[in-house]
A and B are shown apart, each in its own frame.
Chain A
Amino acid sequence: MALKGNLRDFTISQLLNLIHLARKTGALTVDGPGDKAWAVFREGKLAYARMASEDDSLVGVLHRAKKISKAQYKVLKERAAAMSDKELGILLINANYLTQEDILESLRDAYVGVLERIFPWVEGMFVFEDGAPSLDGKITLKVSLENVIMDASRRLREWEQLQDEIPSLDVALKFADRPGVDLRNVNLSVEEWRVVSYINPKNTLKKIAAATKMNDLEIRRIVYGLLQAGLVEMVRPEGEKIEPRKPQLPVSDPEEQISLVNRIIHRIRSL
């Protein structure tokens, strides 16, 4: 089933978070302002990405990564036109022209770069098609989206969006109960570590901001990143007084209340 929507309503970070957490395999097409991006994911990891306006061949990627000169780019484009990226990659490594690390690093930067470039897009349409598309001859990678999401989230500067996401600083944070997520494997900045060190359901965001000497915008920016990466969840601060409104039931005895609900269940079943 395809997921379709508008970026105004469902952001790239939310999409990547969904793909990451649901370990999705499929292709994401984003039709944005002036360009189009296409990215392939396998089990929630980035396998391949390209911008419609750019040469996505290995030669083009290596040239943009300054691993080969313009002259070399032209020669390779002509002579290796019939070769797949995989074949060309092996040829370049065997000829000691480039190392495997050079190639993989360039491709990783290129694929992640596509996601980084579409991250700020707030206008456009997206479609995520389930299932692995054919990538014959292309070199695919397995790039974890956690750090991509974290890095790109840091770039989100729009105060309104952050305020919309975190409308109040009177909430607290707790670590998400997500098996398999190890904080040690996530690249956190010094500021993020400072916030992480204060995460406790007793500490409101306001308290954490005061303790870490951050302003409202800075604390929101960091918490937004942690939330998007699925590492923490917002909770009501411990010890906060709530005035609960109890259900108004026509009977007060617990046994009678249970009986009353059972009568409703029986009636609904018979509808």
Chain B
Amino acid sequence: MQTVKMVVTGPFNAGKTEFIQTVSEIDVVATERKITSEAERIKETTTVAMDFGRITVDDNLVLYLFGTPGQKRFDFMWEILSEGMLGFIVMVDSTRPETFREARSILETFRAYAPTPYVVAANKQDSPDAWAVDDMRIALRLDPSVKLLPCVALDKESVKNVLLELLYSILEEMEANSRK
């Protein structure tokens, strides 16, 4: 059986676990723990090692989706998780501008680990408090060439769109490399 992996990263509470759960064919192997820090108590549990989802492509190929822990103190896991990834998705909570700077920093860190294709998903775009994607691009200081995609992690079509856009970027890079 052949396997490939993609990584879903982003700040705490960006929606990484929901994103993977929405498309995974297995129950996500989540490593969630109750949150102990008052400052981070905006949800009950958080991922402390990784989330793990699976999509069977065909009889010979499986795609694994790994979600990174969002809390900074678990960032030692990031390098391990990024090993050999095909590409990565940076999830950003569109309703929490206080996390934009951290999202930018996570993006830079992952780029340093592995210069593979990536996309940025502006999650929670269905919320009335969501920042517009164009405003987020400026706030996140993203180059116009970087794909910044509106996303609702609980909506399957939206998640599919983000995955497909990343795959198109991977494909483009492969095709460009094969022409060299």
Contact = CB atoms under 8 A, between A and B. Distances in A.
B175 A258 contact: yes
A3 B87 contact: no
A265 B2 contact: no
B100 interface: yes
Interface stretch (A9-17, A65-73, A213-221): A9-17
- Nearest 9 Cβ contacts at the A-B interface: A9-B98, A248-B84, A250-B2, A254-B178, A245-B114, A267-B57, A10-B97, A5-B97, A247-B86
B173 to A, nearest CB: 10
Given A244-B115, A264-B167, A10 B98 contact: yes
B167 A268 contact: yes
Given A10-B100, A263-B57, 18 more contacts: A3-B97, A3-B131, A6-B98, A8-B98, A9-B97, A10-B97, A18-B138, A242-B112, A247-B85, A254-B174, A261-B174, A263-B61, A265-B168, A267-B57, A268-B55, A268-B163, A269-B164, A271-B23
A94 interface: no
B43 to A, nearest CB: 17
Given A3-B135, A245-B84, A247-B87, A264 B4 contact: yes
Nearest to A1: B132
B160 interface: yes
A91 interface: no
Which residue, of A246, A255, A262, A268, has the highest number of chain B Cβ atoms within 10 A? A268
Contacts of A254: 174, 177-178
A261 B61 CA distance: 10
A233 interface: yes
A90 interface: no
B83 interface: yes
B139 interface: yes
B129 A4 contact: yes
Interface of B: 2-5, 23, 55-58, 61, 63, 82-87, 96-101, 112-116, 128-132, 134-135, 138-139, 141, 156, 160, 163-164, 167-168, 170-171, 174-175, 177-178
Interface string A232-250: 0100000000101111111
A257 to B, nearest CB: 6
A258 B141 CA distance: 31
A260 interface: yes
A211 interface: no
13 contacts: A8-B98, A9-B98, A18-B135, A245-B113, A247-B84, A247-B85, A247-B114, A250-B4, A261-B174, A263-B57, A264-B61, A264-B167, A267-B58
A245 B57 contact: no
